[in-house]
Structure 1
């Protein structure tokens, strides 16, 4: 690339594809978490839970000072509500989901797909 060349702008299709893949990765991580912790749930349910969790996280994380704490509690609450788990099991799902998302994202990075995240899994 020449020294002053600008990278190509990201088009709408690329953004939608990145969002969809990120949501599927986040849903897969949540599915793995629920399967390990409680052996329940289905993938489509986990993807929708990831979307709800991402929305709760986005709204509450913006609050100054305690936003991250409120967002974390809300995210675990979403998992608790959607999968009908107790608080401890929902938190355990979150830990397993985070670990699964980190592994999947690292694998994607190794094969050259580094522009995605795990939407709906905080910190991944």
Structure 2
């Protein structure tokens, strides 16, 4: 299957990427705010969402095909990026990630109900 890079395809992909990155950023920011109980800012959440998406994608490319181990390592890589960006250690990072996942799902369900179909959130795995 070959995809032709038409201007419409590129524009559509860019919109999906930007909307989903915003959803991932908002979800991680709210997750951090709930778990560590302080405002950590949008820049940190954006950096975590973008770096997390890159780490998740890279590990997915390298190990995603390995049953059980691949998805587990992908999730650990994503939580590791959150751990790198936020204080509190791995437990706190896992809490932020879990909360971010719930928030992202809620946002995407809301967008889907409004008719704006966004298939996934860049920066939040499995959404």
TM-score band (shorter)?
0.7 to 0.9
Tell me which of 2, 25, 28 is aligned to 2:26. Answer: 28
Find out whether 1:37 has 2:35 as its counterpart.
yes
> What does 1:1-124 align with in structure 2 at a 5 Å threshold?
10-38=8-36, 39-62=38-61, 63=63, 64-65=66-67, 66-124=69-127
| TM superposition score normalised by structure 2 | 0.85
1:37 deviates by: 0.3
Question: Unaligned stretches of 5+ in structure 1?
Answer: 1-8
Bigger radius of gyration among the two:
1
User: How many residue pairs are counted as aligned between the two chains?
Assistant: 116
| TM superposition score normalised by structure 1 | 0.87
Question: Unaligned stretches of 5+ in structure 2?
Answer: 1-6
Higher mean C-alpha displacement, 33-42 vs 92-101: 33-42
